[in-house]
Structure 1
Amino acid sequence: MDEMDGSLTLDRAAPATIVAEPSARRRIEQYFLAVNNAFPSVHEVATIVITHMLPDRPFFLDAVARGNDLISILPKPKSCDPTTRAAISGRYHCDDLDRDRFTHPAKVLAYIEERAAGRDLVLLDIGGYFAPALTSLCRQFSGRIVGVVEDTENGYRKYLSCGKPPCPVFSVARSPLKQPEDYLVGQSIVFSTESLLREHGNILHGRETCVIGYGKIGRSVANTLRAKSVRTTVYETDPVRAVEAMSHGFAVKWSKSEALGRADVIVCATGNRALEGEDFTYLRPGSYVASVTSSDDELNLASLRGTYRVDRLGPHLSRMTSWNHHFYLLNDGNAVNFVHGAAVGPFIFLVQGEILAALALLSSGQTMEPGLHEVGNREREIIARSWLRCFNEE
């Protein structure tokens, strides 16, 4: 468990590559080549990439390296397929991603000085790792931080919370091209949750579920559960999203204790500490807790130390027991869909295409104002058209 006994990796039986068929591989390679050609890097920059090391990632990393100097890859430890990492390490330099190091600006500065001293550098981020140190990096780095590209909503919020960025920060988190991924991630969360329940001799049907958070992924989770005829309640603190959930036909609870106390399965989808402290005591005894993202962001498991005993019942299931209460934690509180590779098919390449477009804009040599930026609709249309040509052939 991340907060209690170290990091977690994917199931070591995960496939080493996303596809085996040469024709499918050619489609992916043709797509990324088309995106690279549409958005060429005019001036080569050094890049450091934080990424999920999943079986689809080598295609994207090769595209990043085409025209730029990919000097280091930092795989996220909770979504790192060891076979994929071993293959990538033979072609690119990989470092271990240490969350503690990234909470100390001086340590982050020392790291990028070691890897990219004096260089023009673009940081590709997933989860806002560079956000706390970005101002110090822009002021003190011996080279130049050209900009950052952030993938996730949670990371986007972290950059927002630090005030106006000192350099251009592109976010793809709210792009229309990410909507297909978010929708399919919600479905994969439900699939993996039920798969892990089945390993414990249970199923979703006949149980009460509660989705905490009705954002993009939470909405998809709730609707997927309903499509499977599973009774679903939403707990949402944002009144606008709560109204939206009600308009979609979901029961919305205003009391967290009531929502948790009646649910057999809880899916946490906020990215912002859905459960912490006394929240865990509200859980219905014997209920299951699943998360859509890292336990660091979704659950304050550190608050359970000294109160709950952890019993490992299987590779992805733990029983949390106090003197008068117990519940089950799926995948150590990390994103449950990573157990099954977090596959969303070729739709993941849409977002990766937009990241490449943002990288090209940053390396264009044009002066860009510090602050938050998005890729334009024209670029998104080019990416979508390239994707359709490669993956929707008649």
Structure 2
Amino acid sequence: MGVSVAHLDRSEISSYSIEIRKIIEDRSNSKLLILDMGGYFSECLGLIAKDLDGDLCGIIEDTENGLRRYQKLPSLSAPLYTVADSSLKRSENILVGLSMLEGVQKVIERNAINNPTATYGLIGFGRIGEEISHLLRRRKADFMVFDENPIKVIHARSLGYRVATKRNLLALSDIILSATGGQSLDDSNLRDIKNGAIIASITSSDDEFGFSEGTYRSFEPYGHLLDRMKSGNRQVFLINGGNAVNFAVDPNIGASISILHGEIIVALWLLATSNADDAGKINRVTQRDREEIASEWVEVFAAEAVDK
């Protein structure tokens, strides 16, 4: 069975673009399957399903933020599989958190900013935020945590992490790591941010921040992947325009991501062979399938590491 793959960037996805319509028109009666990373097809899913008239096999969503976007829809026009909350995703979360920390460090070093005793402020104690906290603890870094969700605050405290209000975190942190996917900072927070602080995001700027266009324009290029907003004697730095620092510095997060890719392939097969549940339901690969994927990964990659 031949398979054609079309790659679209975000500017071609959020609306029912010419590029999407062309894919539908040129498909030669083939069925279509969407692999999404961020929920960007959610805005035009209804139109796509309508024009495909039953030929949309379904959607696979990779991220928690994307899953939330699909969950906000009144109804789903096609079957959806998510791997966002998979038990196999933790290894990826660890590597994403690690790549964020290393990315920030590389930007700081590249721009000759020296602050060995920097205090980190982590906004967001979700799956990736928690892994970042573990990494910071192992590095013996000084850091504090904030989350809007009181349940996550209790969880952070139970693990022995220092929890702060958002205002205090912003006022005391030299490096602010934002990992919420939910517009954690906006213009009203700028006055609270410590002078000279560096802000970094784990995802796209429009998902992570609610800054106005005027605020973004006030940031001017300062150095490698670093912009600066200056007002009088105060200055605030923003890495990579507020977009994910990890992929800008080093997009390769190692073989462990293959575990999740294995689950995505299983979901692709289930959708392509019509083994998915009804269109209005969010589906997940079974735990048994996940265990088989993990077993295959261990056989290939763990054995490879031992051989080396």
TM-score > 0.5, shorter chain as reference: yes
Q: 1:298 to 1:367 in 2, by over 3 A?
A: closer
Question: 1:374 corresponds to which residue?
Answer: 284
Q: 1:381 to 1:128 in 2, by over 3 A?
A: same
Question: 2:183 corresponds to which residue?
Answer: 273
Q: 1:71 to 1:184 in 2, by over 3 A?
A: closer
Q: 1:321 to 1:116 in 2, by over 3 A?
A: farther
Partners of 1:320 and 1:295 in 2: CA distance:
16
Partners of 1:72 and 1:213 in 2: CA distance:
34
Partners of 2:213 and 2:274 in 1: CA distance:
50
Matched, 1:72 2:6: yes
Partners of 2:262 and 2:85 in 1: CA distance:
14
Partners of 1:184 and 1:249 in 2: CA distance:
22
Deviation, 1:108, is: 6.9
List aligned pairs for 1:265-304, cutoff 5 A. Answer: 265-301=175-211, 303=212
Deviation, 1:102, is: 2.9
Question: 2:244 corresponds to which residue?
Answer: 335
Report if the CA contact (8 A) 1:108-1:133 is conserved. no
Matched, 1:363 2:297: no
Matched, 1:196 2:196: no
Question: 2:63 corresponds to which residue?
Answer: 152
Deviation, 1:164, is: 3.2
Q: 1:115 to 1:288 in 2, by over 3 A?
A: farther
Give the SS at the match of 1:149: strand
Partners of 1:366 and 1:188 in 2: CA distance:
36
Matched, 1:316 2:214: no
Report if the CA contact (8 A) 2:111-2:224 is conserved. no
Question: 1:64 corresponds to which residue?
Answer: none
Partners of 1:307 and 1:153 in 2: CA distance:
26
Partners of 1:128 and 1:113 in 2: CA distance:
19
List aligned pairs for 1:49-64, cutoff 5 A. Answer: none
Q: 1:307 to 1:73 in 2, by over 3 A?
A: closer
Percent sequence identity is: 31
What CA RMSD, in Å, does the superposition of the two structures yield over aligned residues?
Answer: 2.1
Aligned residues: 303
1:15-52 deviations in whole A, cap 9, x for unaligned? xxxxxxxxxxxxxxxxxxxxxxxxxxxxxxxxxxxxxx
Partners of 1:347 and 1:134 in 2: CA distance:
31
Structure 1 gaps of 5+ residues are 1-66, 75-96
Deviation, 1:323, is: 4.5
What's the TM-score once normalised by structure 2's chain length? 0.91
Partners of 2:28 and 2:171 in 1: CA distance:
54
